[in-house]
Amino acid sequence: MTMTLQENFYEAARRARVGEYPDAARLLNTCFQDLQSMLHASRPDLAHLQKIMYSLETMMIMQNQKDWVAVADIIEYELAGLLA
């Protein structure tokens, strides 16, 4: 069974919450590549794209600070809604 992009992001959030940080980071890298392809294909409007970029930028800051709970929160409460 192939997981959707949104499901993969949720799985990365779950792994981050339970302390599986290397797995979460690897899955996020895959998600980012898939997100890039999806955005290229779907061509969202500028306002929507800016919201996605803001969430991604915030996630990267939190990941660099090793705040995995914040990364999971951003995925679940910001990014997931933008990808629906």
pLDDT by 10s per residue, the chain, length 84: 678 899 999 999 999 999 999 999 999 999 999 999 999 998 889 999 999 999 999 999 999 999 999 999 999 999 988 887
Amino acid 81: pLDDT: 87
Distance CA 62, CA 69 (A): 9
Distance CA 33, CA 62 (A): 19
Task: Give the type of residue at 61.
Answer: I
Amino acid 1: pLDDT: 60
Amino acid 80: pLDDT: 87
Q: Which residues have CB under 8 Å from 70's CB, separation 6+?
A: 62
pTM (2 decimals)? 0.88
Contact (CB, 8 A) for 80 and 57: no
